[in-house]
Amino acid sequence: VAVMITASHNPAEYNGMKFCLKNAVPIGEGSGMEEIRDLTLNGRFHQNEKKGRIIKEVDFLKKYLAFMSQFFKTGYSRKKIVIDFGNGMGILDKKVFENFPAEIESVYLYDNLDGNFPNHEANPLKKETLFDLQKKVLEEKADLGVAYDGDADRVGFVDEKGEIIPMDYLIALLAKEVLKKNPGGLILMDLRSSNAVREVIEEAGGKVNHCRVGHSLIKKQMREEGAIFAGELSGHYFFEENHKAEMATLAVITLLNLMNETGFKVSELVAELKRYFHSGEINFEVTDKKVVLEKLKEIYKNGKLDELDGIRIDFPDWWFNVRASNTEPKLRLNLEARTKEIMKEKREALMTLIKKPLS
C-alpha cells in the first residue's frame, strides 16, 4: 500500500490522503474507500504489537528522472514554455524540465513551495487562476503555457496566443501522439467531451469509449478494457506507461513531442477540434436528483440514451449529459451542438426543465 498526503486541487485549509495498491491500483469509490471511511469514523483501528516499517526510497528522484527521460525525442526545434507551478508540488518536477533537451527553454512562475498558495489557488480548472500564465506567455512570446494543480496530478494548457485550451481537446491531441506508438489502441474519453475529440481520435486510427468521471473509476475501466490512454475534463491524463495512472508532466512532454513532429503551433493543432459549440458545465442545486433524471429521460426518449454516468442523450445535431454530483445536492449539465443557435436553444430548454419542479 502507498499513501500520498494530498488535498488534490483544494484550497490551503484542506488536507487528506490518497491510497493506492501495487501497480498504482487506486483505493477509491467501490474499491475499499467506503470501508476505510467507516472504520475511521467509528474509531475501529487495528491493534498490533508488531509495528510495520516505512520504506524510504533514497534514490526515488534519480529513478524518476531516468523514467521521464525515456519520453524525450531527438531533434527538437526551438521552443519556449512557461510553467506555472502555483507554489504547489509540481515544483519537484523542475528537475525534469531542467533535463529537457537544450532546445526547450523553460520559464517558471511561482516556483517556491508554499501551501498557503499566496499568488492564486493552484487549480487550472478555474480560469481566473490562469491569468498570470496567459500574461507571461504573451510577454515571453512563448510557444506554450503550462499550469499545475496543487499536487501536480492535473495540468492545464495555454496556447501561444494566451488562449486557454479546453481540457477535452487535450485528450484528442495527446491521444494522437500516443497512437503513434500504439496504432489502433483504445482511448477512453470523459463522456462530457466534445464529439470532435472522438472524431479526431478515430481519424488518427484509434478506438474510443466513453468513461465515467473520477480518477479511480477511469483507472479501473482502463484495466478492464485494455485502454492505452484516457483523459478527463478535470485535466487528469492517464498513461499506460505509468501503470494507467495520471501523470501531468508526461502530458506536457507528449504535447511538446506532437508540436515538434508536426511543426504546428498549439493553436493550429487545436483548430481542427473547433467543430461544435459547447455550453460548458452548468450546475444546479436540486432536492431530488433521481426524479429530475427520470423526467429528462422521458422527455428526450427519442434520443440515444447512455447511462454510464448520469444520462447522456445524443441526437443527430446535439447531445447533452446530466450527472449528479457525488458530494453535493447538485446536477451538472453539459451540452454540445453543431451550431451556436441550436446549443443556446437546447441549453435554455434544459435549464428551464431542471430548475422548475418536475411532476
To the nearest whole number, what is the mean pLDDT of the chain? 92
357 pLDDT band, cuts 50/70/90, is very low
Would you say residue 52 lies in a domain? Answer: no
Does residue 281 sit in the same domain as residue 329?
yes
Would you say residue 182 lies in a domain? Answer: yes
Does residue 244 sit in the same domain as residue 219?
yes
Does residue 207 sit in the same domain as residue 249?
yes
What is the rounded average pLDDT of the residues 92-98?
93
Q: Where are the beta strands (DSSP E) in the chain?
A: 2-5, 17-20, 79-84, 104-109, 144-148, 155-158, 186-190, 207-211, 229-231, 237-239, 245-246, 277-278, 282-285, 304-306, 311-315, 318-324, 330-337
310 pLDDT band, cuts 50/70/90, is very high
Model-wide pTM > 0.85: yes
- Give the domain-ending residue among 271, 289, 313: 271
- Give the domain-ending residue among 271, 286, 316: 271
Q: How far is CA 317 from CA 190, 263, 266, 309, in A?
A: 20, 33, 28, 21
Could you read off the pLDDT of 143-185 as tens digits, one per residue? 999 999 999 999 999 999 999 999 999 999 999 999 999 999 9
Provide the percentage of residues in the chain whose pLDDT is more than 90.
73
Residue 20 and residue 30: Cα distance in Å, rounded? 13
The set of cell numbers assigned to 81 is: 514554455
Does residue 228 sit in the same domain as residue 263?
yes
Does residue 184 sit in the same domain as residue 260?
yes
Does residue 301 sit in the same domain as residue 282?
yes
Does residue 281 sit in the same domain as residue 262?
no
* Burial of 328 from C-beta contacts in 10 A (0-12 / 13-18 / 19+): exposed
Does residue 265 sit in the same domain as residue 287?
no
Could you read off the pLDDT of 221-269 as tens digits, one per residue? 999 999 999 999 999 999 999 999 999 999 999 999 999 999 999 999 9
**Considering only 29-38, 119-128, 173-182, 230-239, which range has the smallest mean pLDDT?**
29-38
- Give the domain-ending residue among 271, 296, 325: 271
Does residue 266 sit in the same domain as residue 281?
no
Would you say residue 54 lies in a domain? Answer: no
Sign of the alpha-carbon torsion through 31, 35, 40, 45: negative
Q: Reading across the β-sheet that carries 104-109, which strands appear in turn?
A: 104-109, 79-84, 144-148, 155-158
Active site residues: 8
pLDDT at 35 over 90: no
Domain containing residue 94: CATH number: 3.40.120.10
Domain limits for position 10: 2-41
Does residue 89 sit in the same domain as residue 14?
no
Domain tally, the chain: 4
The set of cell numbers assigned to 290 is: 433521481
